[in-house]
């Protein structure tokens, strides 16, 4: 397929029916197809080919060939390509917003954050080309110089999710490329465009050499497993559920690739009795219902002191009922559709099971197609279905506690440790509680959905391993090399 280089190629109506391997758009041939559906209407937007194991192997071979030459380019050359990509994301903002709305159900509030955040992240990633630094260490041996270098790891396999597809793909792809690595990207089936093929077009237009980025949409059990297990992969960056992440990690370790895993969460929003209730509820609404709760760092449980519990529940339910539900192409819509029927049915099961276990449905719980009403549940305990599981939907279970110790105990009573938030007008007290919560990211007088390009992003316990962003990601996408130089004859004693 010929290179695609017109503005029309970056739109939901463009031709996306191809793989991208070694700088070539590969026709689908007789491969299985993946239907890309609009979750708001369930209409098929387009189809893309499902990559085979052989396709993934060809992509890794291309990436391996291209990486050596790419690593030898100057930092400025690499940074320039990444900056051009950021500029293109900015230039085609309207087209990209439409792709996110139609393919992934992104309402305007998510479009705002995903598009703007992606541009910021890619500009920051461009600086990585100049930030991978080594040093000199003293030696105990006379006349010896020790040089410490950071070099690219080689080929980075990226397996990205459907919930914030553009941002969560490019947060690994752009830094890897800036640091001199090549990439094989396997996007989620549901978002093969915004999480994968769109990136191929953007980097192609930005002038990235052939083979440095390869995109292979496909089923997780076929293309995803092969990306994780391909012996030419040096780092496997995966974002998704903990059960799948464990398998990805095992596949990666089999060939000594480093598994960078950002996995599930069961994130508590702790509201102490001296909290500013207006701010706590504002944060609670955003943290639970942004992107229909389909975020690994969304609020999964509201832990609220018993003295303010009833008021908190009433006000949260009122706010939830006021949220506008509808087609994400409408700028007034705040709540879009769930990504597919499987996710929707699982969310409804969690709601219904929690009510059967004794909770009260305050508001929501109804569905229309893939639209699920923002839902507030009261009288919840930590072991009820919507609280002990990562429900990944617009659901707010509210759990009472009596003192700070119980709040910390409830917050930590989960296998996950991704994000948390704590509200109190006494910041010292809030910090004491935050310090005792076992999570990789804790936000005081805020909510759990926070990401910044220069601070570490990642979790503890079953929420994964490794960290994205800044120097932490640079460490994972480069390897350390020690070179010593003996500058004067050395005496050897046997």
Q: Report phi then psi at 439, rounded to 5.
A: -145, 150
Using alpha carbons only, what angle is made at residue 244 by residues 242 and 245, rounded to the nearest 5 degrees?
A: 60
8 Å CB contact between 108 and 178 = no
Select from 393, 398, 399 the least CA-distant residue to 371.
Answer: 393
Q: How far is CA 480 from the centre of its chain?
A: 26
Instruction: Return d(Cα 84, Cα 80) in angstroms, integer.
Output: 6
Token digits for 423? 């509200």
SS3 71: helix
Q: CA–CA separation, 234 vs 184, rounded Å?
A: 11
C-alpha closest to that of 339 among 56, 52, 40, 69: 40
As a whole number of Å, the end-to-end CA separation of the chain is 65
Report strand pairing: 375-378 vs 182-186: unpaired
Could you give the strand order of the β-sheet that contains 144-152, starting from the edge strand earlier in sequence?
135-137, 144-152, 478-486
User: Considering 61, 95, 98, 262, which one is annotated as catalytic?
Assistant: 262
Given 189, 204, 296, 373, the catalytic residue: 296
Q: Are 48 and 217 in contact (CB under 8 A)?
A: yes
Count, residues in the chain: 494
> How far is it, in rounded angstroms, from Cα 91 to Cα 157?
28
296 is catalytic: yes
388 is catalytic: no
CB 64 within 8 A of CB 46: no
Characterize the bridge pairing of strands 395-401 and 375-378: parallel
Secondary element (H or E) of residue 416? strand 416-417
Q: What is the three-class DSSP state of 317?
A: helix
Q: Give SS3 for 385.
A: helix
State how far the Cα of 456 lies from the Cα of 22, in Å rounded to an integer: 32
**Cα-based angle 192, 194, 198 (whole degrees, multiple of 5):** 95
Q: Tokens representing 262?
A: 């950002």
**Which stretch of DSSP H or E encloses residue 135?**
strand 135-137
Residues forming the active site: 262, 296
């Amino acid at each position: 397929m010929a290179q695609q280089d017109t503005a029309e190629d970056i739109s939901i109506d463009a031709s996306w029916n191809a793989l991208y391997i070694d700088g070539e758009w590969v026709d689908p041939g007789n491969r299985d197809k993946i239907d890309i559906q609009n979750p708001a209407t369930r209409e098929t937007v387009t189809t893309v080919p499902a990559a085979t194991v052989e396709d993934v192997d060809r992509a890794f071979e291309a990436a391996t060939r291209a990486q050596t030459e790419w690593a030898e380019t100057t930092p400025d050359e690499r940074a320039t390509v990444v900056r051009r990509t950021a500029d293109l994301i900015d230039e085609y903002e309207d087209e990209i917003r439409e792709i996110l709305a139609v393919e992934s159900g992104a309402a305007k509030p998510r479009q705002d954050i995903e598009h703007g955040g992606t541009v910021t992240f890619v500009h920051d990633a461009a600086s990585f080309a100049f930030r991978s630094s080594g040093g000199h260490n003293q030696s105990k041996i006379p006349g010896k110089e020790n040089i410490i270098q950071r070099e690219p790891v080689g080929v980075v396999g990226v397996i990205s999710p459907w919930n914030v597809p553009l941002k969560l793909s490019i947060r690994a792809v752009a830094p890897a490329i800036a640091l001199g690595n090549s990439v094989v990207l396997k996007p989620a089936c549901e978002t093969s465009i915004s999480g994968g093929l769109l990136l191929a077009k953007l980097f192609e237009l930005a002038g990235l050499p052939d083979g440095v980025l390869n995109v292979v949409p496909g089923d997780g059990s076929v293309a995803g497993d092969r990306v994780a297990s391909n012996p030419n992969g040096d780092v496997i960056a995966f974002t998704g559920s903990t059960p799948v992440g464990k398998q990805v990690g095992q596949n990666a370790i089999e060939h000594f690739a480093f598994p960078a895993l950002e996995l599930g969460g069961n994130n508590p929003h702790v509201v102490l009795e001296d909290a500013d209730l207006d701010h706590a509820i504002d944060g609670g609404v955003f943290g639970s219902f942004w992107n229909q709760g389909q975020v690994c760092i969304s609020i999964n449980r509201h832990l609220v002191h018993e003295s303010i519990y009833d008021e908190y529940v009433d006000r949260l339910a009122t706010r939830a009922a006021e949220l506008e539900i509808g087609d994400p192409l409408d700028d007034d819509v705040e709540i879009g559709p769930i990504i597919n029927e499987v996710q929707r049915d699982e969310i409804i099961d969690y709601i219904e099971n929690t009510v059967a276990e004794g909770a009260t449905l305050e508001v929501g719980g109804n569905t229309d197609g893939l639209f699920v009403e923002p839902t507030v549940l009261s009288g919840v305990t930590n072991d009820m279905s919507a609280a002990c599981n990562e429900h990944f939907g617009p659901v707010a279970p509210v759990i009472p506690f009596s003192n700070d110790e119980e709040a910390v105990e409830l917050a930590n009573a989960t296998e996950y440790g991704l994000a948390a938030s704590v509200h109190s007008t006494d910041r010292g007290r809030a910090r004491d509680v935050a310090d005792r919560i076992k999570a990789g990211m804790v936000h005081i007088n805020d909510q759990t959905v926070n990401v910044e390009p220069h601070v570490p992003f990642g979790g503890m316990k079953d929420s994964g391993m490794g960290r994205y962003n800044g120097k932490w990601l640079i460490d994972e996408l480069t390897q350390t090399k020690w070179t010593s130089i003996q500058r004067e004859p050395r005496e050897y004693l046997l």
